[in-house]
Amino acid sequence: MSEVVIPADAVVPVVASGRQKLYRRVLKNPMAVVSLVILALVVLSAVFAGQITGWDPGRADLNDALAPPFGEHLLGADASGRDVLARLFFGARVSLIGALIALATALAIGIPTGLIAGYFQGWFDSLSSWFASLLMAMPGLIVVLALISVIGPGMVGVMVTFGALLSPGVFRLTRSGVVSVRRELYIDAAKVSGLSDYRIISRHVLGVIRAPLVIQASMIAGIAIVLQAGLEFLGVGDSSTASWGQMLSEAFSNIYVAPTMILWPGLIIGLTVGSLAIFGAALRDTVQGAEPARKTRRRKPTNEEETSTRRLDLSTAATAAVISPRDGGQEDIEPSDALLVVRDLQVGYPQPDGSTTIVVDGVSLHVDRGEVLGLVGESGSGKSQTAFSILGLLPDTGAILGGTISFAARTIASADGAAHGAAALRGRQFGYIPQEPMSNLDPSFTLGFQLVEPMRHILGLSRPAAKTKALELLDRVGIADPRRTFDAYPHEVSGGMAQRVLIAGAVACDPELLIADEPTTALDVTVQAEVLDLLRGLQRERSMGMIMVTHNFGVVADICDRVAVMQAGRLVEQADALELFDDPHNPYTRMLLSSTLEDTEPRAARSTRPVSSRGTAR
């Protein structure tokens, strides 16, 4: 095999340019601008508090006790005659510094440990996950109160402790993001090109998880401000320094005498925390908006480079670790934030003699966000029945006899019939691409009508807006003349074009999970390749989870990240796609592969075989 050099840093100029223009995209978001202005005013008032107001926040004058606003004291005075505005500005220093300490502590602990655990996994992953679960089980407020009784009400120690208690959330978010991208082909390509693990993590991995970390950081800062104010309100803080919590406590004790006093600290806390949340969400959306440009600006490889790269990826599959146990295939260790989780699913059909035929028996699998799972098996293996169970589309005679199906941590189907959430998710969170395109289009209506109506019903769009979006989707799925196709009836288009229309309809309402049931079976080879490229492109653009139901391992090799192999209603093997092709464990999987590959030297006949991460020859 000829040596292939993969330019892993090809996207660096694009990313750098995007970072330079990040502030411009932020300033185009009105919500971000408003929240940023409020935060800037709060910070500036804290920094220049002494120059803005001439009052000492600790100076008491009983002659001015409970002075009303808009007199000598602009916002009035408290029960001790201290200026409210001065205490408000100087108190901002305590709250902002405390929030910064808690945030820095949580990020300093959570991000590095999450990156290492998600990327390298192994014993560190197990140990750090155990510690994270232990910290999350602790009652945070009680721990902080106990600490104050031991070390005193010092702000630094209290906020460092609180930041440590918040770090498991950052750890889990970081780890799950790393786990979802560490198997991507561009990560393997970066390893092959010789980049160090540190460079891969800092450049290729960290950039993927920065958007969710932004919103997490804003939430932590807001929670820290509220917690510190709550502690001061309870009287367990440092009473020698002005703070928003102390002002709330004093105002509450005089609420019947001077009710306006409670307005000012409550207003500033609400504005600050709300602005942090809004700015974090706006910044997250801005960062995410830069990701498509990063992907679309990548250099397109030539046919020769693409073929060599695919062979190289397959030959270096030893760099990938096994996600879930493969022998037997039934145990499935899903991440805590998996999009779809199927546990011990059993589906059966009653027979006239009173018996029950089991068609799906104890299937457990999961699909992560942005992941494509291939569900493979011969006809009658139960793969379509599994997909229909997820969609809630089993025939009336079929029933789920055991197990559960959960979507986004919510149970949508179970054996007891208590949960029936799949119907409400279809067309919204669930998209479906059927096997026969012509049979799934109504010949009585135009293709445009069949695209527009679901969007009007589910998204609440007007007819013109829905038509505009439908035309954009038809153009995106590669239809040359979208307007003509929009007005056409199903019998006026080809099978490949009809399948593209169905794909457009499946993603029209922005689903989170797309289930494709043999989407290329009825198409010729050339159209099959185009449809698969289209599906992969749409799935990546929208970060959808996807289940590809197929019997064709060629389709699996082209589009899937992980593979679950089914035989006679049971899962016999689950593995990363690259590893399964390179080293199938189950005899049934090997049989399917041997019957699929054509004009290829059998693996057993290879004279040289790379060594896997398990230490065995492949």
User: Which region among 183-197, 231-245, 304-318 has the lowest average model confidence (pLDDT)?
Assistant: 304-318
Task: Give me the percent of the chain exceeding a pLDDT of 70.
Answer: 78
Q: How far is CA 204 from CA 16, 191, 201, 422, 487, in A?
A: 13, 11, 6, 36, 44
Using DSSP's 3-state secondary structure scheme, residue 182 falls into coil
User: Which region among 220-234, 318-332, 504-518 has the lowest average model confidence (pLDDT)?
Assistant: 318-332
pLDDT reading at 590 higher than 90: no
Choice between 615 and 441, residue whose per-residue pLDDT is larger: 441
The H or E element containing residue 366 is strand 356-367
Contact (Cβ atoms closer than 8 angstroms) between residue 137 and residue 80: no
Choice between 133 and 302, residue whose per-residue pLDDT is larger: 133
pLDDT at 7: 38
Quickly tell me which residue has 């609420």 as its tokens.
Answer: 255
Token pair in block for residue 51: 């120059």
pLDDT at 217: 87
Quickly tell me which residue has 């009035």 as its tokens.
Answer: 76
Confidence of residue 335 (pLDDT cuts 50, 70, 90): low
pLDDT reading at 329 higher than 90: no
pLDDT reading at 606 higher than 60: no
Centroid of chain to Cα 602: 39
Contact (Cβ atoms closer than 8 angstroms) between residue 445 and residue 454: no
Confidence of residue 79 (pLDDT cuts 50, 70, 90): confident
For residues 70 and 178, give the distance between their C-alpha atoms in angstroms, rounded to a whole number. 55
Choice between 180 and 564, residue whose per-residue pLDDT is larger: 564
The H or E element containing residue 271 is helix 263-296
Which strands, in side-by-side order, build the sheet including 545-550?
430-433, 513-517, 545-550, 372-376, 562-567, 570-576
Residues 6+ apart with CB under 8 A from 507: 431, 473, 514, 538, 542, 544
Maximum mean pLDDT: which of 132-141, 211-220, 466-475 = 466-475
Confidence of residue 596 (pLDDT cuts 50, 70, 90): low
pLDDT at 418: 57
Maximum mean pLDDT: which of 257-261, 415-419, 423-427 = 257-261
For residues 413 and 407, give the distance between their C-alpha atoms in angstroms, rounded to a whole number. 9
Q: What is the pLDDT of residues 93-116, one digit of tens each?
A: 888 888 899 899 999 999 999 999
pLDDT at 239: 64
Q: What percent helix, strand, coil does the chain show, rounded to 5? A: 55, 10, 30
Mode of pairing for the β-strands spanning 340-350 and 356-367: antiparallel
| The CATH number of the domain covering residues in 31-49+75-296 | 1.10.3720.10
Residues 6+ apart with CB under 8 A from 594: 602
Confidence of residue 289 (pLDDT cuts 50, 70, 90): low
Residues 6+ apart with CB under 8 A from 561: 183, 184, 371, 372, 373, 576, 577
